[in-house]
Structure 1
């Protein structure tokens, strides 16, 4: 059995790889099975969560197990052969989770968003915001990217413009909702971020 680290994942798996893998996983979902997430919380506030799936077409069964401690997550993924039952690999899942979540959004965007989009808006500036932008650029050609959030907006906008060559600028949340052709929310907010009345007709919203 192999142990694959976060560093190895970042070196070996590209955003394009992740999007293609999610396309294949969704296509094979009809012949597979999924285990809904199960959460267990201790009196000290530590939460342990687990979810799993079997994808016979890929020959893989697997589970992701992770802790939540003071709002921080740590992930491990274990894969098994569906032919022999043998364990194949254990993967540190932090980097993989960022890739997978964004890739799932990109596959949904490709299937559901209009083809003639100009503006991508991201509400949130954390790890998932940084993962989603390159993933969505795999499936649509945006002319501009709007960044909204509580902190780090300008830093992320500068980073995006430099890395991907697409102009990015900081806006307020309502402006992001109003101008977006594709709108992605990547926050832990527990209250509404904006009024749905602000959205353009036909806008695609991914609430992560």
Structure 2
């Protein structure tokens, strides 16, 4: 403890969930993510998740000191089973030079924004530079945000979407038929969405944690986006498909290799997943070459604090320019040691 406290140069900003919704901008988020991953992977700057839990409460903290940013901080995900499951998300941002608190951001919508933006950056490294047919599994928030993000980085010629509820997949098709001005069809089976697709987006959790697609549906040179297997218990891609892959690009290599049920199952089956898998950083830096036209290429996401912090910083910068958010009347103490 120190009594040598210094007043903040500027009072911190608070962004509500509604503020984040108003400020959300995929191109800006994609630019922030691309800059963040165009630096060498560094586990000291970006360690893995930190967990604390009891039988009733749990907390997950995702810290990051991004090399590409002015700010650093952490996202905390806080849950309680006292009355069903209730979860809140908070991102705290600090100035790298002064350690002063710069902002507190409701992280609820930031999570979806940064995940879609990171997927766009990852997909851009492995998707062919030609018009592609997109097959989508799922029609909910993740499927919608990721389809919008993919459309910004890939030349999508057509879309086929499947989800178990006919009304939901029909609504998805109508939305993107209008917004993308390309053929978008709702289909009756997952196989119909995936067969002959050049790019496959898996964005729907299976009810029994079994893979949502089959390996023999996938063409030999397809690009696969997998965002729904982020814990050891979750499954999305079959082992046979991972075994056919030429490359797996991961937003966090260690977390994908050891935290994704897909990769754990593939390793158990004898697939050399460590040799297959490269970090998104190494691909963007040109350290791991990619043939975008040949062989199955997979992008797998586990999420990372790095993504939350750089996207939240971009939101705070935009909020300051637009006069959005609430400037807090007080701040925490910053001291010299």
Partner of 1:8: 19
Q: 1:140-159, aligned counterparts within 5 Å? A: 140-151=154-165, 152-159=168-175
Compared CA separation, residues 71 and 18, structure 1 to 2 (3 A): farther
Q: 1:167 aligns with which of 179, 183, 187?
A: 183
Whether the 8 Å contact between 1:29 and 1:55 is mirrored in structure 2 is: no
- Tell me if structure 1 keeps the 8 A contact 2:204–2:212: no
Moved more, 177-186 or 4-13: 4-13
Cα offsets for 1:125-184 (capped at 9, x unmatched)? 221111111110110121111111122111111122123323211121112222321111
Instruction: Tell me by how many angstroms 1:73 deviates.
Output: 4.8
The correspondence of residues 32-111 of structure 1 with structure 2, limited to 5 A, is 33-44=45-56, 46-68=57-79, 73-111=87-125
**Alpha-carbon separation, structure 1, partners of 2:217 and 2:79:** 34
Post-superposition Cα deviations, 1:45-87, rounded to whole Å, max 9, x if no partner, equal: x432221211133122121111346567532211111211111
The structure with the largest alpha-carbon Rg is: 2
Are residues 1:191 and 2:205 paired?
A: no
> Any unmatched runs of 5+ in structure 1?
none
Greater CA deviation, 177-186 or 96-105? 177-186
For residues 162 and 14 of structure 2, the distance between their equivalents in structure 1, rounded to whole angstroms, comes to 37
Q: CA deviation at 1:185?
A: 1.0
- Greater percentage in strand: 1
TM-score of the pair, normalised by structure 2 = 0.57
Higher relative contact order (CA 8 A, sep 6+): 2
Query: Any conservation in 1 of the 2:93–2:104 contact (CA below 8 Å)?
Result: yes
Contact 1:106/1:136, CA 8 A, preserved across alignment: yes
Classify 1:98/1:84 alpha carbon distance in 2 versus 1 (closer, same or farther; 3 Å): same
Partner of 1:121: 135
Instruction: Report the equivalent of 2:198.
Output: 181
Tell me if structure 1 keeps the 8 A contact 2:116–2:145. Answer: yes
Within 2, Cα distance between the matches of 1:163 and 1:67? 35
Distance 1:146 1:73, change over 3 A: farther
Larger mean CA deviation between 137-146 and 164-173 belongs to 164-173
Q: Which SS does the other structure have where 1:34 is aligned?
A: coil
* Match in the other structure for 2:254: none
CA gap 1:73/1:163 in 2 versus in 1, 3 angstroms: farther
**Structure 2 gaps, min length 5:** 1-11, 228-337
Given that residues 124 and 148 in structure 1 are in contact (C-alpha distance below 8 angstroms), is that contact kept between their aligned partners in structure 2?
yes
Q: Number of matched residues?
A: 207
Tell me, in whole angstroms, the C-alpha distance in 2 between the residues paired with 1:76 and 1:22: 19
